[in-house]
C-alpha cells in the first residue's frame, strides 16, 4: 500500500503519499479501540509540495503529517505561557508544521552557507525548496532574504471536511432533525460574545464559527478550520515571523485541498472558500504589496510581477479523492452513517485523545541541525516511508505526551507551540547574524545578508513579551505592516472574527528549563 501510480489523478497520488507516512508512524500516535469497545477516530492532514508540471512520483514531497480533533477552552489560555497548543485540530497543526518545516529549511540553507564559508567551498549546497533572493530584488534592509522556489505548489490533504462553514451541510445531513439546535446557557456558562457555536445555528451560514465542543464544555474562541483556511487564502501559509524571512509569493499559498468525495459539499466549500462565496468581495483586489512602501515604488514593481508577490485573495481548488481510494487508505475516520443507521448501531465512537505531529527534515543541513538539537525527534524516528524525520511528537491536551497542560513546562512544550516557534525564529536570526559577521570584508552572496537589518530583527526577537514580539513585527517592519493590512481587509468579509487572546504575557525566559533532567552518559 502507498505505491504511487503515475496514471492516477494528483489527488489520489497525494493521498497515498500522505497516508503512507501516517501508516509508518508508531502505534502510540494512532487511535485505539478502548477496553470497553469504544473505537477512537481522528482527522488527519498532510502537507505535500509538488514541483513542476506533469507531476511524477519523484516530484511529490510530503513535508508534514498531523492528526487531531481538539482545542483549549478560552478560560485555560492564561495558564499556557506559550507552552501549550491552543488548537490541535489536524488542519491547524498542519499549518503550524508547514511553517516549522519552512523555518528548518531556511536554517539548513544558512548552515550550508556557513559550512561553505568555513571550508572555502565554491558554493553552498542549495535547498530544493527555498532560494536566496538576488541583490536586485532586495532594495531595502527589511525585505525577506528568501523565497520559495516559484515552481512549487503546496497542497493539503485531509481525511474529512474542515469543521465550520465548509461542512455545515454535511453536519445537517447527519442529524435526524436538521432543525438548528437550541443552545442552553447558564449564569456560569454565558453565550460567547459575537461568536456563534460550532455546530448550531444551521440557519446562519457563511459566518465565522468557533471550534465545536460539547454543550456542557467551556467555550472556546478558536476559530473553525474552515475559517482559518479561508484567512490563509489572503495571508498565505506563512506565519508573521516566517514572512519576515520568506517573501510572500504565489508559491506560499495553498494551491488545493484534497478531500474524500463523501466529505465534499460543493455548496459549502464554494460558500466558505470560493470566488462566489463569502470571500467574493476580495476577488481581484490587490490587498497589500509585500513591502507596503509609502512611496509606491515597490507596489509598482510588484504589480509588474503579476501574481508573483504581495497579498491577494488566492482561492484554492477543492480536489476530490475517489471514494474507493479514500476508503482503502483510512481506517480511523468518524463513521458518517445515516441518522437511522447511527441510532441503531451498538458500536461507540469517540475522538482520539492522542495527536501526531511529523515534519520532514530540511533538504540541506539536516546533519548539522540534528547535532545542534533544534530539529528534535530525528534520533527517535530517523526515517518515515523513506523520508528523513525533522520532528516527531505525540500530543495530548496541547502538550507532548507525558506532560500536563495544567502545569506546563518547556520539556513538555510542542515544537509547534508559540514559545518554541518564537525560539526557533530567534535561533535563525542568530544564525543570520553569525553569517553576516563571517562575511564582513568578503564579497560573498553579494547584497544578500548585507541588506538584512539584523539589528532590527534582534530587537524584535528579544522583545519582553510575546505580545510585544507580535506587535513589533507589525510596527517595525514593512512585511509585517503589509500582512496586517491584508488581514484587516480579509476580516471585513470573515465575520465575526473575535480574537483568541489571553496567552501573550510571557517572554522567552519560559524556554529556560528550571529543573533540567540529568542526562545519562
Q: Is the pLDDT of residue 246 over 70?
A: yes
Instruction: Please state which of the ranges 97-106, 114-123, 163-172, 431-440 shows the lowest mean pLDDT.
Output: 431-440
State residue 219 phi and psi, 5-degree precision.
-65, 145
pLDDT for res 456:
81
**What does the alpha-carbon distance between residue 416 and residue 84 come to, in Å, rounded to a whole number?**
9
Please count the CA atoms within 13 angstroms of the CA of 422 that sit on its side-chain side. Answer: 28
Give the DSSP H/E element, type plus range, for residue 311: strand 311-312
Q: CA nearest 417: which of 103, 62, 80?
A: 80
Confidence of residue 521 (pLDDT cuts 50, 70, 90): very low
Please report, rounded to a whole number, the percentage of residues in the chain having pLDDT higher than 90: 61
Q: Is the pLDDT of residue 7 over 90?
A: no
Q: Where is pLDDT greater, at 125 or 65? A: 65
pLDDT digits (tens, 9 = 90+) for 445-466: 444 443 456 678 888 999 999 9
Q: What is the mean pLDDT of residues 12-23?
A: 98
Q: What is the mean pLDDT of residues 303-311?
A: 53
**What does the alpha-carbon distance between residue 309 and residue 44 come to, in Å, rounded to a whole number?**
31
- 3-class secondary structure for 276-305? CCCCHHHCCCEEECCCCCCCCHHHHHHHHC
Instruction: Please state which of the ranges 207-216, 277-286, 416-425, 508-517 shows the lowest mean pLDDT.
Output: 207-216
Confidence of residue 236 (pLDDT cuts 50, 70, 90): very high
Q: Is the pLDDT of residue 220 over 90?
A: no
| Matching residue, cell 474524500 | 260
Dig out the grid coordinates for 455 from the structure: 539589528
Neighbouring CB atoms inside 10 A of 5's CB total: 10
Q: Is the pLDDT of residue 443 over 50?
A: no
Neighbouring CB atoms inside 10 A of 307's CB total: 11
Dig out the grid coordinates for 321 from the structure: 479523492
Confidence of residue 265 (pLDDT cuts 50, 70, 90): very high
State residue 360 phi and psi, 5-degree precision.
-70, 150
Q: Where is pLDDT greater, at 196 or 473? A: 473
Domain boundaries, the chain: 10-286+311-333+351-508
Q: In DSSP terms, which residues pair with 312 in a beta bridge?
A: 286
Most confident of 316-330, 360-374, 472-486: 316-330
pLDDT for res 309:
62
Measured CA angle at 297 (ends 314, 311), to 5 deg: 15
Per the CB < 8 A criterion, the answer to whether 60 and 17 are in contact is yes
Q: What is the mean pLDDT of residues 296-317?
A: 62
Confidence of residue 225 (pLDDT cuts 50, 70, 90): very high
pLDDT for res 344:
57
pLDDT digits (tens, 9 = 90+) for 376-414: 544 567 788 889 999 999 999 999 999 999 999 999 999
Dig out the grid coordinates for 171 from the structure: 453536519
Q: What is the mean pLDDT of residues 37-59?
A: 84
pLDDT for res 365:
85
Dig out the grid coordinates for 503 from the structure: 496567552
C-alpha dihedral sign at 41, 383, 430, 473: negative
Q: Where is pLDDT greater, at 380 or 65? A: 65
pLDDT for res 26:
95
Amino acid at each position: 500500500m502507498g505505491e504511487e501510480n503515475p496514471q492516477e489523478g494528483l489527488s489520489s497520488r497525494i493521498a497515498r503519499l500522505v497516508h503512507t507516512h501516517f501508516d509508518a508512524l508508531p502505534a502510540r500516535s494512532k487511535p485505539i479501540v478502548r477496553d470497553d469497545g469504544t473505537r477512537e477516530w481522528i482527522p488527519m492532514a498532510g502537507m505535500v509540495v509538488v514541483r513542476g508540471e506533469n507531476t511524477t512520483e519523484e516530484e511529490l514531497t510530503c513535508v508534514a503529517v498531523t492528526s487531531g480533533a481538539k482545542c483549549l477552552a478560552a478560560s485555560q489560555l492564561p495558564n499556557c505561557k506559550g507552552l501549550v497548543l491552543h488548537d490541535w485540530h489536524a488542519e491547524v497543526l498542519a499549518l503550524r508544521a508547514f511553517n516549522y518545516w519552512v523555518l528548518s529549511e531556511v536554517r539548513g540553507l544558512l548552515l550550508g552557507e556557513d559550512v561553505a564559508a568555513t571550508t572555502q567551498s565554491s558554493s553552498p549546497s542549495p535547498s530544493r525548496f527555498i532560494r536566496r533572493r538576488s541583490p536586485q530584488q532586495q532594495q531595502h534592509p527589511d525585505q525577506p532574504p528568501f523565497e520559495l522556489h516559484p515552481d512549487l505548489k503546496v497542497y493539503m490533504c485531509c481525511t474529512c471536511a474542515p469543521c465550520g462553514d465548509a461542512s455545515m451541510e454535511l453536519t445537517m445531513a447527519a442529524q435526524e432533525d436538521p432543525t438548528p439546535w437550541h443552545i442552553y446557557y447558564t449564569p456560569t456558562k454565558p453565550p460567547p460574545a459575537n461568536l456563534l457555536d460550532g455546530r448550531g445555528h444551521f440557519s446562519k451560514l457563511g459566518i465565522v464559527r468557533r471550534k465545536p465542543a460539547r454543550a456542557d464544555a467551556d467555550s472556546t474562541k478558536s476559530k473553525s478550520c474552515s475559517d482559518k483556511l479561508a484567512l490563509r487564502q489572503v495571508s498565505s501559509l506563512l506565519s508573521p515571523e516566517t514572512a519576515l524571512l520568506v517573501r510572500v509569493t504565489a508559491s506560499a499559498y495553498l494551491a488545493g485541498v484534497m478531500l474524500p468525495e463523501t466529505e465534499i459539499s460543493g455548496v459549502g466549500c464554494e460558500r466558505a472558500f470560493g470566488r462566489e462565496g463569502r470571500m467574493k468581495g476580495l476577488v481581484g483586489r490587490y490587498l497589500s504589496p509585500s513591502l507596503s512602501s509609502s512611496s509606491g515604488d515597490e507596489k509598482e514593481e510588484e504589480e509588474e510581477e503579476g501574481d508573483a508577490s504581495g497579498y491577494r485573495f488566492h482561492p484554492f481548488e477543492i480536489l476530490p479523492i475517489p471514494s474507493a481510494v479514500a476508503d482503502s487508505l483510512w481506517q480511523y475516520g468518524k463513521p458518517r452513517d445515516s441518522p437511522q443507521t447511527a441510532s441503531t448501531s451498538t458500536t461507540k465512537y469517540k475522538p482520539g485523545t492522542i495527536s501526531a505531529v511529523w515534519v520532514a527534515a530540511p533538504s540541506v543541513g539536516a546533519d548539522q541541525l540534528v547535532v545542534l538539537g533544534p530539529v528534535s525527534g530525528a534520533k527517535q524516528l530517523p526515517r518515515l516511508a523513506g523520508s528523513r524525520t525533522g520532528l516527531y511528537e505525540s500530543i495530548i491536551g496541547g502538550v507532548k505526551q507525558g506532560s500536563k497542560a495544567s502545569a506546563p513546562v518547556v520539556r513538555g512544550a510542542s515544537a509547534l507551540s508559540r514559545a518554541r516557534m518564537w525560539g526557533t525564529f530567534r535561533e535563525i536570526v542568530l544564525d543570520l547574524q553569525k553569517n553576516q559577521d563571517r562575511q564582513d570584508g568578503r564579497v560573498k552572496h553579494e547584497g544578500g545578508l548585507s541588506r538584512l537589518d539584523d539589528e532590527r530583527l534582534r530587537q524584535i526577537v528579544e522583545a519582553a513579551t510575546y505580545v510585544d514580539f507580535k506587535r513589533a513585527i507589525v510596527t517595525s517592519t514593512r512585511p509585517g505592516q503589509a500582512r496586517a493590512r491584508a488581514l484587516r481587509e480579509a476580516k471585513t468579509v470573515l465575520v465575526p472574527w473575535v480574537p483568541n487572546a489571553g496567552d501573550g504575557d510571557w517572554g522567552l525566559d519560559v524556554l529556560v528549563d528550571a529543573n533540567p533532567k540529568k542526562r545519562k552518559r
